[in-house]
Amino acid sequence: AQKITQTQPGMFVQEKEAVTLDCTYDTSDQSYGLFWYKQPSSGEMIFLIYQGSYDEQNATEGRYSLNFQKARKSANLVISASQLGDSAMYFCAMREREETSGSRLTFGEGTQLTVNP
Amino acid sequence: NAGVTQTPKFQVLKTGQSMTLQCAQDMNHEYMSWYRQDPGMGLRLIHYSVGAGITDQGEVPNGYNVSRSTTEDFPLRLLSAAPSQTSVYFCASSFGLAGSDTQYFGPGTRLTVL
């Protein structure tokens, strides 16, 4: 079963507008972490934001915020005031502590965001 | 801090050749891991290590070996390269194993096997 689902292969947004990238996850663990990474065309993986399963407040990092709805198992990334440099692939990932996998990150398939001028 | 470094950045191999992808981190992280990213996909775990001298298999370990003789270094060895191993390889590290521990990635190695 897919553990991380990103249903939007591609998204478009106008510069200076906000955009939400969807992510749903599946786990039976009580303790886990949710992460968003940005991968620009240059290829590196850049950590953006983290949300812990026990955190009651939604995480924020500058223009990035994570809309965490635990009961729905969703962890959507919101980018406010989009910039041209935000054009990239965005990956949602989950980290569970599993004895058999050494607490690996499980990634979704990504959403390609394009910011239009 | 250099963070996580990987060498080489690009590599072309012929089928059957072997090579080692290097990974080092200077953050004193205990947990290190190797992922591969195939076109249009997320990353999949190859091998990981929870500390010096300890390694284990991830989701797609076949055709790869790892070792962890020091905390800093975690090389990935391709035993006999195959075209199916054409991919981008990322090394990552984190302080520990908790769900809250952020994994930081190296810049990646783009490998092509002909």
Chain B residue set in contact with A, beta carbons under 8 Å: 31, 33, 35, 40-45, 48-50, 56, 58-59, 88, 90, 92, 97-105, 107-108, 110
Dihedral class, residue B76 (left if φ above 0, else alpha if ψ from -120 to 50, else beta): beta
**Phi and psi, residue A78, nearest 5°:** -115, 125
Across the interface, of B31, B56, B99, the residue whose CB is closest to A53 is B99
Give the separation between CA B35 and CA A35, rounded to whole angstroms.
16
Give the separation between CA A59 and CA A23, rounded to whole angstroms.
15
3-state secondary structure of A2: coil
Task: Give tens-digit pLDDT for B36-68.
Answer: 999 877 899 999 998 999 999 988 999 999 999
Q: Which residues of A touch B45 (CB under 8 A)?
A: 101, 104-105
Give the separation between CA A25 and CA A94, rounded to whole angstroms.
8
**Phi and psi, residue A7, nearest 5°:** -85, -5
Q: Are B36 and B44 within 8 A, CB to CB?
A: yes
Specify the amino acid at residue A76.
N
Given this model, what pLDDT does residue A1 score?
55
DSSP 8-state symbol, B73? B
Give the pLDDT band (50/70/90) at residue A96. Answer: confident
Interface probe for B, chosen from A38, A105, A109 (most Cβ of B below 10 Å), is A105
- The whole-chain average pLDDT of chain A stands at 91
Strand residue runs (E) in chain A: 4-5, 10-14, 19-21, 24-25, 32-39, 46-52, 60-61, 64-69, 74-79, 88-96, 105-107, 111-116
Task: Give tens-digit pLDDT for B21-42.
Answer: 999 999 999 999 999 999 877 8
